[in-house]
């Protein structure tokens, strides 16, 4: 055997999972088609990842967090949800917290995960190695690389993106939903302040978002048709800036492009099974979320935590990291934990991203309810503020909501 576990994909989920398994004493071989330089110094890819408190805790436990440059970690204090002229806000202060979450660039998370994995003697990363075929036998799983080499281990894990070829090679179907839109992301400098607010701003033809990074610097997110995304990407920088100013109704003042522009086609995926014989899925390969609710990598880290727990226990109890009962437990926990978010995100996109005017009254009603009804704001905040171990049940948010609502001792008035 080449290792106890083979992971296909050295993306953020694959590398974090490698760390979590190595911390439990397992030997791990990670197989990645990209070159080592691309993993050690990943290029900016436009994504700013909103991390929940639970994800920050997991990254600390994996020793990934200390490799993030402190000046590039932006606090997320307040979120504004807008539709036309209506809006409601979720503020960390209302929940006695200093932040709802934290924003960190995806390429910095990848670089930090690489550093943590490269320093771990229990992990070997094979780069420029593309997996072309995969399968499993009674006592081991195997992959064949494009070089023809065959690797074997008791357990194979696919963390090779939402379009996972390993998942397909192992015969696991996935539901895919193509939203027929693209998400355009880049950084822009602007003259008017964002006051540290994140905006999610819906409209008939487009969805806009602002993620506050520094005082006059924000990540701009625009959801438009594929053709519009392509036209904007190819526009000269000053033409692009004028158009973004207009699309944001000059609320951020004069704007200037401060990074490369990236476009992502919006396709959500849900694997019909998360495990097979001597096989498991992690990260986007299990659940590929629409980014509007900013939960893809947060769920990826939930899969890391649940899968590492199950494999670590299987190894201890049966000396086989692929014990079926414990893989099944991982599948149950991760499906239960992610299904409500997956369905909820789909509903948000259907209601708020639907250009048909018939949806307008519903959107207004939801926003009005958000303004008046603490429970809706509470539910949103609970999802972000949860710092407890990963929820295994869809009702876990209620526990966090109850904690937030718990009466606090009165502060002295003098």
Ligand X SMILES: Cc1cc2nc3c(=O)[nH]c(=O)nc-3n(C[C@H](O)[C@H](O)[C@H](O)COP(=O)(O)OP(=O)(O)OC[C@H]3O[C@@H](n4cnc5c(N)ncnc54)[C@H](O)[C@@H]3O)c2cc1C
The answer to whether residues 267 and 162 touch, using CB atoms and an 8 Å cutoff, is yes
* 8/170 with CB nearer ligand X: 8
For ligand X, which residue of 97, 130, 277, 399 counts as binding (CB under 6 A)? 130
360-372 and 374-385 helices, crossing angle to 10° = 80
Residue of the chain from 19, 47, 57, 329 that contacts ligand X (CB under 6 A): 47
Q: Is 274 in the site for ligand X (CB under 6 A)?
A: no
Read off the tokens for 346: 């789909």
Comparison of 10 and 323: residue with beta carbon closer to ligand X: 10
Name which position in 2, 4, 9, 245 contacts ligand X (CB under 6 A): 9
Which residue do the tokens 């990943």 mark? 42
Angle, vertex CA 411, rays to CA 409 and CA 412, nearest 5: 130
Residues numbered 231-270 forming contacts with ligand X, rule: CB under 6 A: 264
| Residue 106 backbone dihedrals phi, psi, to 5 degrees | -60, -40
The reply on whether position 154 binds ligand X by CB under 6 A is no
Q: Which residue of 5, 7, 26, 33 would you call a contact of ligand X, by CB under 6 A? A: 33
User: Contact between 78 and ligand X (CB under 6 A)?
Assistant: no
> How many C-alpha atoms does 279 have within 13 Å on its Cβ side?
24
Please identify, among the stretches 25-33, 58-66, 91-99, 186-194, the one whose residues bind ligand X according to the rule CB under 6 A: 25-33
Instruction: Name the 3-class secondary structure at 99.
Output: coil
Which one of residues 14, 154, 212, 312 is an interface residue with ligand X (CB under 6 A)?
Answer: 14
Least distance from ligand X to the Cβ atom of residue 352, Å: 16
- Does residue 160 interact with ligand X by CB under 6 A? yes
Size of residue set near ligand X by CB under 6 A: 33
Task: Give the contact letters, 178-207, x = binds to ligand X (CB under 6 A), - = no.
Answer: -----x-x----------------------
Is 10 a binding residue for ligand X by CB under 6 A? The answer is yes
Q: What is 213-230 written as a DSSP string?
A: EETTEEEEEEEE-HHHHH
All residues at 6 or more sequence positions from 186 whose CB lies less than 8 Å from its CB, including other chains: 46, 219, 220, 257, 258, 259, 260, 261, 262
Distance CA 209, CA 62 (A): 30
**By the rule CB under 6 A, 172 interacts with ligand X:** no
Torsion of CA 323, 327, 333, 337, to 10 degrees: 160
The footprint of ligand X (CB under 6 A) covers 8-14, 31-34, 47, 49-50, 106, 130-131, 159-161, 165, 183, 185, 264, 283-284, 291, 294-298, 300
């Amino acid at each position: 055997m080449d290792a106890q576990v083979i992971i296909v994909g050295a993306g953020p989920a694959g590398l974090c999972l490698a760390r979590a398994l190595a911390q439990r004493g397992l030997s791990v071989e990670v197989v990645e088609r990209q070159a080592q330089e691309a993993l050690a110094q990943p290029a900016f890819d436009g994504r700013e990842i909103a991390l929940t408190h639970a994800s920050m805790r997991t990254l600390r436990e994996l020793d990934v967090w200390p490799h993030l440059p402190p000046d590039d970690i932006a606090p997320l204090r307040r979120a504004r949800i807008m539709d036309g002229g209506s809006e409601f806000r979720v503020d960390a202060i209302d929940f006695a917290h200093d932040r709802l979450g934290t924003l960190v660039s995806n390429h910095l998370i990848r670089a930090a995960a690489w550093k943590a994995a490269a320093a771990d003697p229990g992990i070997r990363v094979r780069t420029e190695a593309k997996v072309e075929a995969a399968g499993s036998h009674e006592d081991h799983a195997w992959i064949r690389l494009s070089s023809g080499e065959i690797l074997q281990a008791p357990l194979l894990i696919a963390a090779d993106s939402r379009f996972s070829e390993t998942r397909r090679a192992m015969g696991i179907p996935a539901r895919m939903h193509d939203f027929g839109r693209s998400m355009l992301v880049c950084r822009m400098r602007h003259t008017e302040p964002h006051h540290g607010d994140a905006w999610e701003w819906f409209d008939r033809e487009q969805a806009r978002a602002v993620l506050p990074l520094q005082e006059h610097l924000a990540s701009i997110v625009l959801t438009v048709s594929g053709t519009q995304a392509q036209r904007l990407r190819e526009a000269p920088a000053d033409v692009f800036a004028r158009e973004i100013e207009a699309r944001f109704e000059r609320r951020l003042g004069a704007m200037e492009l401060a990074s490369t522009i990236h476009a992502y086609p919006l396709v959500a995926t849900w694997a019909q099974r998360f495990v097979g014989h001597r096989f498991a899925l992690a990260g986007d390969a299990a659940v590929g979320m629409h980014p509007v609710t900013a939960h893809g990598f947060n769920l990826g880290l939930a899969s890391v935590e649940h899968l590492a727990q199950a494999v670590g226990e299987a190894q201890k109890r049966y000396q086989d990291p692929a014990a079926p009962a414990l893989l099944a437990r991982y599948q149950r926990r991760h499906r239960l934990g992610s299904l409500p978010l997956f369905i909820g995100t789909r509903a948000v996109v259907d209601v708020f991203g639907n250009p048909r005017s018939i949806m307008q009254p519903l959107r207004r009603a939801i926003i009005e309810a958000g303004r008046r009804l603490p429970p809706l704001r509470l539910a949103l905040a609970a999802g972000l503020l949860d710092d407890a171990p990963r929820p295994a049940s869809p009702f876990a948010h209620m526990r966090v909501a109850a904690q937030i609502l718990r009466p606090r001792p009165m502060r002295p008035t003098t």
